[in-house]
Structure 1
Amino acid sequence: MNEKDLFDLFVLEAERPFSGWDFSYITDTGRMASEPMNWNYTSEILASIRKADSLLDMGTGGGEFLSKLQPFPRNTFATEAYEPNVPIARNRLEPLGITVVEVKDDNQLPFDNEQFNLIINKHESYSVSELYRILKPGSQFITQQVGGQDHLDLNKALGANEDNGYPHWNVNYAVQELENAGFKVIKNLEQFPYTRFYDVGALIYYLSAIPWQVPDFTVEKYFDKLLQIHHQIQERGFIEFKEHRFFIKAVK
């Protein structure tokens, strides 16, 4: 098969449907892989979940990750802001006793004051003042965030806009924001691991699933750049881009 035919095959393969927050089509097959980080989010939250009476998972996606953490505290809630994910999360989580709430505004969460003694958050935005309001005194907020430098080199490789509007968003900024609100930060870490793509179809699939990375992305618009990337992968075996991740554990 010549390179043009192989490129066309990968483009066709990328048209597989994406649902919830499940990248297994390209991750479980090894077509996309990330460098291991110096912490593990699940390991950091698991003991706290087991001790909690009330839990909120912010930005649950389709509930794929949360569903694997059973058993849950007696009162467990999950929020999701991306409308297509809400019914998926409800179908998966509500049979497990979890209430899924659609949230449109981080500054107006539909929860009572001091309702939770644990809030977990993986890659979801948040309002510090709302966190403080709904957490019980002495309770924890644990989050892993995508930093403002995430995959900017991917945008550069495509010739796309590199200004995501969040250049300030890093661990130092987030820690200061939490401390100013009255939280005590007990752990914080930051890392810039790589993401590797082993064929251009995996990259196209990934970009189609996260439209905020390159909002105007289509294969047609970025055809020439994608073809260049395809050639680079064929020569090297993969192409990699830099992620930006940070982790914070804070107590009210």
Structure 2
Amino acid sequence: MGRVTFEELVAEAVAEPVEGWDFSWLDGRASEARPSWGYQRLLGTRLAAADAVLDLQTGGGEVLAGALDAAGRKPSVLAATEGWAPNAAKATGLLGPRGVVVVATGEEPPQPFADGAFELVSSRHPATVWWEEIARVLRPGGGTYFAQHVGPESVFELIEFFLGPLPEEVRRGRHPEVEAAGARAAGLEVVDLRTERLRMEFRDVGAVVWFLRKVIWLVPDFSVERYEERLRDLHALIEDAGPFVAYSSRTLVEARRP
């Protein structure tokens, strides 16, 4: 049996749906190390002790659902927001049976919640962090924001393969100290801040195509047609040298409203 061709790999990746936040289609085709802290498990312990919770930018709801299952109980008030309609629909189907109200909303402030409404606000990989809005909906006197953010220069090896070198101000984006400064400026106390850099491997060009279709902000104008030449270069590189290696970065953030 001959090698799978560039055209076959790309066609398969283009035909595969990208709704939700499940990356299992990449099993065997790509891999990413996970942070040592185990965000979903830690979130589960916090859900077990909280009464009013908001999960921002929940995606397809997969992370929150897993954390709820680990918690073994449901907070009495539990809501989640999602701005992309296909994900909001998927999250509703997954989280609704678990007692979560999913609100389809834009991610920019204001969110449709009262001041000080939540004891815990969580988020995994928010596209944008609106610190003042997070502080507004947290309860005074200990309301907590607990999240895992995408860290600085995440997957830049792959991004720059398509876009070329990125400017310094982009490289500084999502730096943990910048995140902490934003939290403090909104009146929050930062109680935990950790960042890890994690190895990723892409074993075929189809994995890259599907990944960039799903994580649309990495190469915002991505399409197979627009980047066909670079995709063919990448296919040849993987065929000759093995997996394409990049590094993601993740930041664990915990901040409280005094």
Confirm or deny a common fold (TM above 0.5): yes
Counterpart of 1:25 in structure 2: which amino acid?
A: W
Q: Distance in 1 between matches of 2:188 and 2:217?
A: 30
What are the within-5 Å matches in structure 2 for residues 95-174 of structure 1? 95-124=97-126, 125-136=128-139, 137-159=141-163, 162=166, 167-174=172-179
Q: Describe how 1:65-76 pairs up with structure 2 within 5 A.
A: 65-68=63-66, 69-70=68-69, 71-76=73-78
Gaps of 5+ in 2: none
Post-superposition CA distance 1:52-85 (Å, at most 9, x none) = 0011111111112212223321110001112221
**C-alpha deviation, 1:2, in angstroms:** 5.7
Residue 24 of structure 1 corresponds to which residue in structure 2? 24
Work out the CA distance in 2 between the residues paired with 1:205 and 1:105. Answer: 24
DSSP 3-state at the match of 1:33: strand
Retained in 2: the 8 A contact 1:58–1:119?
Answer: yes
* Residues 4-57 of structure 1: CA deviation (Å, up to 9, x unaligned): x5222211221212221121111xx22111123232112322211100001111
Which region of structure 1 is more displaced relative to structure 2, 83-92 or 115-124?
Answer: 83-92
TM-score of the superposition, structure 1-length normalised? 0.90
Please report the RMSD computed on the Cα atoms of aligned residues, expressed in angstroms.
2.0
**What SS class does the counterpart of residue 45 from structure 2 fall into?**
helix
Q: Distance in 2 between matches of 1:177 and 1:86?
A: 28
Contact 2:162–2:219 (CA under 8 A) maintained in structure 1 = no
1:77-92 aligned at under 5 Å gives the runs: 77-92=79-94
Contact 2:113/2:137 (<8 A) preserved:
yes
Shift of 1:123: 0.8
1:188 matched to 2:193? The reply is yes
CA distance in 2, matches of 1:2, 1:225: 23
Retained in 2: the 8 A contact 1:161–1:214?
no
Residue 241 of structure 2 is matched in structure 1 by 236
- In structure 2, the CA distance between the partners of 1:36 and 1:210, relative to structure 1 (3 Å rule), is closer
Contact 1:33 1:197 in 2 (8 A): yes
| 8 Å contact kept, 1:147–1:244 | yes
What is the TM-score with the length of structure 2 in the denominator?
Answer: 0.89
Deviation at 1:140, TM superposition (A): 1.2
Tell me the equivalent position of 1:175.
Answer: 180
- Cα distance in 1 for residues equivalent to 2:160 and 2:179: 26
Equivalent AA in structure 2 for residue 11 of structure 1: V
- Matched residue of 2:240: which SS? helix
- Select the residue among 35, 38, 45 that pairs with 1:47: 45
Q: How many residues align?
A: 249
Give the equivalent residue in structure 1 for 2:5. Answer: 6
TM-superposed CA distance for 1:121, in Å, is 0.8
State the SS of the aligned residue for 2:219.
coil
SS of the residue 2:172 aligns to: coil
Residue number among 50, 54, 77 corresponding to 1:56 in the alignment:
54
Question: How far did residue 106 of structure 1 move?
Answer: 2.9
Q: CA deviation at 1:148?
A: 4.1
Could you say if the C-alpha distance between residues 107 and 46 of structure 1 is closer, same or farther in structure 2, counting changes exceeding 3 Å? same
Q: 1:101 to 1:166 in 2, by over 3 A?
A: farther
The farther-off stretch of 48-57 and 187-196 is 187-196
Task: Determine helix, strand or coil for the equivalent of 2:115.
Answer: coil
User: SS of 2:213's equivalent?
Assistant: helix
Cα 1:76–1:166 shift into 2, 3 Å: farther
Q: Identity across aligned pairs (percent)?
A: 30
